[in-house]
Amino acid sequence: MNYIGSKLSLLSFIQNSIFEVAGTTNEIFCDLFAGTGIVGRHFKKLGYSIVSNDLQYYSYVLNRHYIGNSQNLAFSNFPAGKIFDILNNATPKKGFIFNNYAFGSGSNRLYFSDSNAIKCDSIRLLIEELHSNNSISDNEYFFLLTSLLESIDKHANTASVYAAFLKKLKKSAQKDFYVAPAETIISHKPQLVFNQDANKLIREIKADILYLDPPYNERQYASNYHLLETIAKYDSPVLIGKTGLRDYKNQKSEYCRKQSAVHAFADIIRNANAKYIFLSYNNEGLISFDEIRYIMSNKGKYGYFEQKYNRFKADKHREYSADSTTEYIHWVKCE
């Protein structure tokens, strides 16, 4: 998934930095701003127990599957290998997504083609029905929801995020979408997934490696990914404005406002119970380099790594002049 602040292309930088400072023998890796879950997934594959968390429900869904599901799922109520055929051939139904985010319903919004919106509704409704009549387990439910979110996201008619839709259907949005199975990462270690404010959760958990990747600018994830949230929850929210935003006052991140970001960051570091803390942040973030160094140094021995990084696609046309930023990994060995 193309995601603001995704660490997909920085995985080796993150792994090398962590191994250099903390070695390879740690067991519990906490990823408290998990987003797509790509960092937790990487460390789960390396054999760690992951504690994953994010404020957004769509992110919880993704991580509930990628981190929480560790065995291939049987779908024992269905003929072997048939569940995705059943979903892809679900009886067409016009639901919340078609009615509010496709042009054919008269919504005046063009986030999806009419046929993809109807298909998304049909599949989403079927997954809910199968879960509520106990034809699928909780694990299977989150696996199917993750597969739907990942598949439909590739056909969204947006420049990259859901803050606005394009005026004409772009090529990938014109193509019919099919739900394809999401990857399942096999593991025999315990894995935990939460959907909380990281500053609350920090008070209840203990980590060997605490990895923090909070938002670094004012762009709230709740408004940039509101459609994924609605597909995940399918809770028919009241919508506002031209872009059909759902209310997100309870999901506004303190890390997206200069006034509160430093305070929230100092609070999470102060309350961390970890052997090592690693923070991904870039040189254009709301919290300054010196503020980070000061706050983290109070916790123990501090250091940092840096790497040049190509800017997120959607940001290239914005107000920035440079095409690359410097990505830092700040670390502290806690005392």
Ligand X SMILES: C[S@@+](CC[C@H](N)C(=O)[O-])C[C@H]1O[C@@H](n2cnc3c(N)ncnc32)[C@H](O)[C@@H]1O
At residue 328, what is the residue type?
Answer: Y
Indicate the residue among 65 and 119 with the shorter CB distance to ligand X: 65
> With respect to ligand X, which residue has the nearer C-beta, 57 or 84?
57
By C-beta, is 90 or 227 nearer to ligand X?
Answer: 227
CB of 67 to ligand X, least distance (A): 12
Residues that bind ligand X (CB under 6 A): 3, 5-7, 33, 35-36, 38-39, 53-56, 59, 197-199, 213-215, 221, 253, 255
Q: How far is the CB of 10 from ligand X (least distance, A)?
A: 8
Distance of closest approach, residue 38 Cβ to ligand X, in angstroms: 4
Can you name the residues that pair with 212 across neighbouring β-strands? Answer: 279
Whichever of 130 and 227 has its CB closer to ligand X, that residue is 227
User: Could you tell me which residues come within 8 angstroms of residue 62 by beta carbon, excluding any fewer than 6 positions away?
Assistant: 1, 36, 37, 146, 149, 150
Identify which of residues 88 and 196 has a Cβ nearer to ligand X in the complex.
Answer: 196
Of 33 and 84, which has the nearer Cβ to ligand X?
33
CB of 280 to ligand X, least distance (A): 7
- Tell me whether residue 68 or residue 215 sits nearer to ligand X (CB atom): 215
As a whole number of angstroms, the distance between CA 197 and CA 181 comes to 29
CA distance 192 to 30: 9
Q: Which residues of 189-206 are buried (b: 16+ CB within 10 A; e: fewer)?
A: eebebbbebbbebbeebe
Q: Please report how close the Cβ of residue 229 comes to ligand X at its closest, in angstroms.
A: 10
> Rounded CA gap, 55 and 198, in Å?
8
Cβ neighbours for 171, distance < 8 A, ≥ 6 positions apart:
none
Shortest distance in whole angstroms from residue 153 CB to ligand X:
13
Least distance CB 155 / ligand X (angstroms) = 20
